[in-house]
Amino acid sequence: MYYYFCVFQGVIFNVDYNPNLGLICSVSDDRSIRLYSLTFNEATAGASLDSWESVQSELLHVLYGHSARVWDVKLLTDCFVSVGEVGISLA
């Protein structure tokens, strides 16, 4: 384990990382979607597992839009798509 997020009330079901945007997004059974900005200290940011040891994260948003667990998320260029037990959301 190279990086640990300790902010959820339940199990994390999925994580999506977009290295071009420097964003990581996670979804959980607590119905939340959490979007973080990542900053690497090395010039080879994200290129190796070792670069994750010094990464800094900033929580940008905590979103609740699903009425049940959120299973999956995909970060796109200017939005994300999340999939939950009850439906699909585009934000």
pLDDT in tens, 18-52: 988 999 999 888 888 899 998 887 665 556 777 77
User: What local confidence, expressed as pLDDT, does residue 70 receive?
Assistant: 86
Distance of CA 10 to the CA centre of its chain: 15
Over residues 48-76, mean pLDDT: 85
> Could you give the C-alpha distances from 62 to 20, 59, 87, in angstroms and in order?
21, 8, 19
Q: What is the mean pLDDT of residues 63-76?
A: 88
Task: Give the whole-angstrom CA distance, residue 42 versus residue 44.
Answer: 5
Q: Give the list of residues 6+ apart from residue 50 with CB closer than 8 angstroms, or none.
A: none
